[in-house]
Amino acid sequence: MLNKTIVKLAVPMAIGALALTGCGGGDSGSDGAYKIAFQGPLSGDNVQLGQNMENGIKLAIDQAKASGDLDFEVEYVSVDDQGLPDKATTAAQKAIDDESVVAVIGPAFSGPADTAAEMFGAAGLVALSPSATRADLTTKGYKTFLRAVPNDSAQGSGMAKYLSQKVKADKVVVVDDKTDYGIGLADVAEKDLKAAGVDVVRQSVPQKTPDYSAAAKNVVKNKPDAMIYAGYYQDAGPFARKLEEAGFDGVTMSGDGTNDAQFIDLAGDASDGWLLTCACTDATKEEATKKFAADYEKEFKQAPGTYSAESYDATMMIIEQMKKLHAEGGVERQALVDALRGAKYKGLTKEFSFDDKGEFTNQAIYLYEVKGEGIEYQGGIDELVG
């Protein structure tokens, strides 16, 4: 999923001065515990997406500890970047400076991931993201970045495939929110729609636009069969309301950044019928994840959200490799990076493995639809298209 820019210029200098302070870390801390950190939005506009993942991670750690299979202590620590690139450097440094931290799950959003990945690489600390989907994150040579989710090429292609083959749209308006996530996702969707012979009109509307009336009218005047919004729920909500007020009656679609109940709260009835893509499965529907969903709801008094189950799986994959390394003498950061790069792990949601660039090898994309007050799982796009 999911964002950055000015800070990027400051990062290279920061890396030399800051990130190396954590180099060589990874021994258990003074209390004898290894720590797994999560970097993501734990405050700010899109906090719910971060909380979904944090809860999945906490549940995995608690269940691993309760299993009695661990010969070591493992603890959770959070570093909040608010989902913003300009907060990513400070958040990452907090994890790096704590020598008990042997792995980071995240960064959750693409912009912060791009900002922090080189720092984590310099510190030899793995950054395993269950949600940062911008396609080029695995092409920049980041030494310790691993992605445990299909990238936006897969998600954008899934959008295009569904609209061209299932909806049989002749014309689509593609709107991005000018974030790294939104632009990347929209680029792929536009490219694949055009390749499928669909007429595409591209528009950009910045995050936090005070009034989406003009943007909605621009969509309507083009008379498309469908519209894709590549952005987050905080903006998709008010945009959906204005689209409805403008009289848009075509198919409306967005991605994993919008796939959250907060979208319905913000959009109200205007959210009804929106199609939402995600690399995430619905933990409450899939047989393999029903126990996880029940355990999650018992613990947190809410159903698992977007990427909760995938974050659980990522944590369990890390702990599995930690167990092997600890048995061989101890968990060191770089050794854990190397172990994860070559690992295959059968999780609740899917099988996890990475190519030589740290890219996830499973590229399945799923479709959801807003119906009334809920988001209902429809299935895999390949199966739905047939």
Percent of the chain with pLDDT over 70: 92
Residue 75's nearest CA partner among 331, 310, 358 is: 331
Tens of pLDDT, residue by residue over 99-130, are 999 999 999 999 999 999 999 999 999 999 99
- Report the distance separating Cα 220 and Cα 12, nearest Å: 44
Tens of pLDDT, residue by residue over 200-233, are 999 999 999 999 999 999 999 999 999 999 999 9
Q: Quick one: pLDDT band at residue 4, thresholds 50, 70, 90?
A: very low
Of the listed ranges 109-113, 132-136, 233-237, 353-357, the least confidently predicted one is 132-136
Residues 273 and 252: beta-carbon distance below 8 Å: yes
What pTM was estimated for this model as a whole? 0.78
User: Which residue segments constitute the domains of the chain, with CATH numbers given?
Assistant: 34-151+284-353 (3.40.50.2300), 153-278+366-385 (3.40.50.2300)
61 CB contacts (<8 Å, ≥6 apart)?
Answer: 36, 74, 75, 76, 315, 319
